[in-house]
Amino acid sequence: MKWFNRKDNQPPTVSVEQQQSEKLAEIGAQIWAARQEQGLSLEEVVILTKIPKRLLQAIEEGNLEELPEPVYIQGLIRQFADALGFNGAILASTFPIFYQPLNPKPTGTTKPINQLRPLHLYLLYIFVIICSVSGLSQLLKESALQASTTPPRPKPQQQSQSKPLPEIKPYSNALISTKTGTPVQIGVTLKASSWIRVVADGKTEFEGNLAEGTHRTWKAKEQLSVKTDNAGGVLISVNQQQAKEMGELGKPEEVQIAAKPRGLSH
């Protein structure tokens, strides 16, 4: 038959789990950056979306293992994005549910042997559909119950129209101390391509260029140091607090975050 292809000519395939993991990481970085710029905490987003905090955090971190079935993940992404002012339906539609082959299926009643899917995939599809119907019904009931007991709040974009957001001052060569005995953790988001160097407890953890939209986290027991050649293009969040710019665009800056030693108080 003419539409049999040789295996040598077929491009390498990527598993649906890998596609979902990569796309979730990309969507999570976009949502995290938008939430930080709007100054919203996860607790505030929980009130707006009625979604548990652990699921919101798993979406931002791209942690596929902590999330439910892919069909529900699309719904969670849509609600999360809508609360931040995005078009949630469009953003959620980019998250793949099932693997889609590059070439369309040929017409006809007879399928070639090499086009048949493994039996366990068909069983998985049937299981997902059954879970989707029952789970969606339960989710709608819970959402209706929570909506009846929780007063409505305006969306973030409505608040921004009536009241301007407070000015966030950059760190700019700051030395920051965290709570006594608390490990140091930073989240770095790139608004523009920049060179950065991260030193944790005296050891260089990263040095090089990061592309726009990249989100990375680092931890240290005592001290973290972040240096960049483009301070205005780098957002830093210390111990999951509100993210701030390191300084002005095109200027080098360095920020040091140290855990306050036990026994000292200010």
pLDDT tens, residue by residue, 2-17: 444 544 455 556 788 8
C-alpha 228/C-alpha 253 separation (Å) is 6
Please check whether residues 22 and 90 belong to one and the same domain. Answer: yes
Say yes or no: 182 and 138 in one domain.
Answer: no
Q: How many domains are there within the chain?
A: 2
Structural domain range at position 196: 175-259
Instruction: Identify whether residues 69 and 193 lie together within a single domain.
Output: no
For the entire predicted model, the pTM comes to: 0.35
Residues 93 and 24 in one domain: yes
Q: Is residue 180 part of a domain?
A: yes
Residue 110's pLDDT is 41
**Pair (135, 39) in one structural domain:** yes
If one counts every other C-beta atom within 10 angstroms of the C-beta of residue 4, the result is 9
128 and 58, same structural domain? yes
8: in domain: no
Low-confidence ranges of the chain (pLDDT < 50): 1-4, 6-8, 100, 102-116, 158-160, 165-166, 168, 264-266
Q: Is residue 136, in this structure, part of any structural domain at all? A: yes
State the pLDDT at residue 264. 47
In a domain, 96, yes or no: yes
Please give the C-alpha separations between residue 83 and each of 31, 55, 258, in angstroms, as whole numbers: 10, 15, 34
